[in-house]
């Protein structure tokens, strides 16, 4: 039995690990790389193996950096099952089609820019004269209205004038094919994933449906076991249950634990400080007469924010300012959370469900649907809260809210999650904090949004406690308190400095910990 590491190795995104036996190849996650657009696109388009050779895929949870390349795998010839928890399967019904739509829109935009660029050179395309009247006519034909690119017209022009087209990573049809392969199973229920191979899911505490996976290979009277934390959650956070510490007897002996290390050298604010810190940030902004923009993942972070804001409003701790969830995807996923109360922790049941209340709905919350509603909200100057995707400010409606409000010092950009390197969210965080540390004097940092420059005058506040990832001490707590006997640990899903620092710490505590390199293989004898 062997394990090779092909994604989220000495980096955070693109999770993908391959387990091989004499008879099967089983993939653990198949996520999208995120970061610099060109670099991420190149990584995402190439799978390091033949998709058709994969027997089955085990999905730890639905976040796109873990699930986002499943349609590409299907497109490449994968025909096995995607085994996951029921919650994860429910969320993927929305996340994967949304990801496909983004891939298609990105390709449409790049192709549109190619045609526009060719037209901008004058009344010729690739040296072929078209005449001034035809030139103006073609420019007008590229969009159906002011906002929507006419994909058919753009493709026709690219073919006619032999312009190089960009194809989406995968299409909506590919995503639908992937969803047809999903198989949701309950926690603590062993399921066969290959010859002499089973997997069992345990609560990871990261997000609705997230799982720690234990994979057992039993052959000739001997069992080899691989554990995979996926993304390990925090203890005592709202909504979902804590990471599992009590594993079934047959799953307690782990030959290799593949463990995340996102915060391998960092500690979060205590969970109990979440609500007071959010209260402070909201009240300070409302006293200035400003608005609060919160870039948040549609899946997980949005629901946590609604939960805590609901509590603050119920307690009268902050002004009951209107809250807008400006993300159709977040609206749909919030409904999925409502369909899986079996995953909630005790506090959620006692605080809301037993009183007949929805944790994610209250009088001040509004779920924005149409583009017109979103555009009207962008122009709104009265104090309000906007929760919008994407969480790292790389795409989506949050970019439009930022370009309308980033220049005003009364407003606050509230960052509540991890920002990967080379993302706009990371630049806002680092440069905004540096500007504040310098007394907010001198010229403000400049942020580029949609190829236009905007001064970062809004206040930037980071709340680390909202992270859905365990920090250094919580990961140690999991290893120490779980009833697992672990022979070896492979650290993944962390920037290199974080993974290496955590490996050093684990070795000091007596664990056999290593940080694999991309493509490296570990053998389990």
What pLDDT digit, counting tens, does each position of 454-464 carry? 999 999 999 87
Digit-coded pLDDT (tens) for 467-499 = 789 999 999 999 999 999 999 999 999 999 999
Tokens in use for 280?
């402070």
DSSP code for 396: S
pLDDT attached to residue 121: 67
Fold for 2-92+180-267+468-523, please state it. Answer: Metallo-beta-lactamase; Chain A (3.60.15)
pLDDT band at 122 (very low <50, low <70, confident <90, very high): low
Q: Please, which residues bridge with residue 258 across strands?
A: 228, 490
C-alpha to C-alpha distances, 505 to 268, 424, 461, 509, nearest whole angstrom: 17, 31, 30, 6
Structure confidence at residue 370 as a pLDDT band (50, 70, 90): confident
pLDDT-based confidence at 357, cuts 50/70/90?
confident
Q: Determine contact, residues 354/362, Cβ cutoff 8 Å.
A: no
Q: What percent of the chain has pLDDT over 90?
A: 67
Residues 81, 197: contact at Cβ < 8 Å? Answer: no
CA distance 349 to 9: 38
Same fold, 2-92+180-267+468-523 and 271-466: no
Sign of CA dihedral 126, 113, 13, 36: positive
Range with top average pLDDT, 37-41, 122-126, 378-382? 378-382
Tell which wins on pLDDT, 160 or 439.
439
| CATH fold group of domain 271-466 | Rossmann fold (3.40.50)
pLDDT at 468: 84
Q: What confidence category does residue 276 fall into, taking pLDDT thresholds of 50, 70 and 90?
A: very high
Predicted pLDDT of residue 146:
66
Which tokens is 504 given? 């050093």
Residue 295 burial (10 A CB sphere; 0-12, 13-18, 19+): buried
pLDDT at 306 over 80: yes
Spatial separation of the C-alpha atoms in residues 265 and 495, rounded to whole Å: 10
What's the mean pLDDT in 221-247?
A: 94
pLDDT at position 128: 66
For residue 411 the two structure tokens come to 């407003």
Query: For all residues of the chain together, what is the average pLDDT?
Result: 91
Residue 288 has pLDDT above 80, yes or no: yes
Whether the Cβ atoms of residue 67 and residue 49 lie closer than 8 Å to each other: no
Asked, as a colleague might, if the bond just before 390 is cis with ω within 30 of 0, I would say yes
User: Looking at residues 87-109, what average pLDDT do you find?
Assistant: 91
Residue 32 has pLDDT above 80, yes or no: yes
- Sorted by sequence, the CB contacts under 8 Å of residue 115 that are 6+ apart come out as 142, 154, 157, 158, 163
Q: How confident is the model over 287-314, as a mean pLDDT?
A: 93
pLDDT of residue 127: 66
Q: Which of 37-46, 344-353, 466-475 has the highest mean pLDDT?
A: 466-475
pTM summary value: 0.85
Q: Identify the band that residue 340 occupies on the pLDDT scale cut at 50, 70 and 90.
A: confident
Domain boundaries, the chain: 2-92+180-267+468-523, 98-160, 271-466
Q: Which own/partner contact pairs does 473-478 have at CB distance under 8 Å and 24+ positions apart?
A: 473/267, 474/232, 474/234, 474/235, 474/268, 475/232, 475/259, 475/260, 475/261, 475/263, 475/264, 475/502, 476/505, 476/509, 477/235, 478/229, 478/232, 478/243, 478/245
Q: Identify the helix (H) or strand (E) that includes residue 425.
A: helix 424-437
């Amino acid at each position: 039995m062997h394990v090779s590491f092909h994604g989220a190795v000495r980096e955070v995104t693109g999770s993908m690990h391959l387990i091989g036996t004499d008879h099967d190849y089983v993939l653990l996650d198949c996520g999208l790389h995120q970061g610099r657009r060109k670099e991420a696109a190149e990584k995402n388009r190439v799978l390091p193996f033949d998709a058709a050779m994969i027997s089955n895929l085990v999905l730890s949870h639905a976040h796109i950096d873990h699930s986002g390349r499943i349609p590409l795998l299907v497109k490449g010839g994968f025909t096995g099952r995607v085994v996951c928890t029921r919650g994860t399967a429910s969320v993927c019904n929305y996340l994967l089609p949304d990801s496909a739509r983004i891939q298609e829109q990105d390709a449409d935009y790049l192709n549109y820019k190619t045609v526009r660029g060719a037209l901008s050179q004058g009344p010729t395309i690739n040296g072929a004269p078209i005449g001034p009247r035809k030139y103006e006519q073609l420019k007008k034909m590229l969009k159906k209205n002011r906002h929507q690119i006419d994909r058919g017209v753009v493709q026709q022009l690219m073919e006619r004038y032999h312009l190089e087209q960009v194809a989406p990573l995968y299409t909506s049809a590919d995503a639908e094919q992937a969803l047809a392969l999903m198989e949701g199973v309950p926690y603590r229920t062993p399921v066969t994933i290959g010859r002499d191979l089973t997997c069992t899911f345990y609560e990871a505490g990261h997000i609705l449906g997230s799982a720690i996976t234990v994979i057992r290979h039993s052959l000739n009277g001997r069992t080899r076991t691989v554990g995979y934390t996926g993304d390990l959650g925090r203890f005592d956070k709202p909504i979902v249950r804590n990471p599992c510490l009590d594993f079934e007897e047959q799953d307690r002996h782990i030959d290799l634990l593949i463990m995340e290390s996102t915060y391998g050298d960092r500690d979060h604010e205590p969970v109990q400080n979440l609500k007071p810190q959010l209260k402070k940030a909201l009240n300070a902004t409302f006293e200035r007469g400003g608005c609060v923009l919160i870039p948040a993942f549609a899946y997980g972070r949005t629901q946590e924010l609604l939960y805590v804001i609901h509590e603050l409003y119920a307690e009268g701790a902050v002004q009951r300012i209107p809250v807008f969830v400006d993300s159709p995807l977040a609206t749909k996923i919030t409904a999925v959370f409502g369909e899986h109360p079996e995953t909630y922790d005790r506090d959620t049941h006692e605080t809301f469900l037993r009183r007949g209340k929805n944790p994610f709905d209250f009088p001040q919350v509004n779920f924005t649907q149409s583009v017109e509603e979103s555009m009207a909200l962008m122009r709104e100057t009265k104090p309000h809260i906007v929760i919008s995707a994407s969480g790292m400010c790389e795409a989506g409606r949050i970019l439009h809210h930022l370009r309308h409000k980033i220049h005003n010092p009364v407003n606050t950009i509230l960052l509540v999650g991890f920002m990967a390197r080379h993302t706009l969210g990371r630049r806002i965080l680092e440069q905004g904090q540096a500007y504040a540390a310098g007394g907010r004097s001198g010229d403000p940092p400049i942020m580029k949004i949609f190829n236009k420059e905007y001064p970062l005058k809004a206040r930037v506040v980071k709340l680390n406690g909202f992270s859905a990832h365990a920090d250094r001490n919580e990961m140690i707590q999991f290893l120490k308190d779980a009833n697992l006997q672990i022979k070896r640990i492979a650290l993944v899903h962390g920037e290199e400095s974080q993974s290496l620092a955590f490996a050093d710490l684990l070795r000091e505590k007596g664990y056999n910990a290593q940080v694999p390199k991309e493509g490296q293989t570990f053998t389990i004898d």
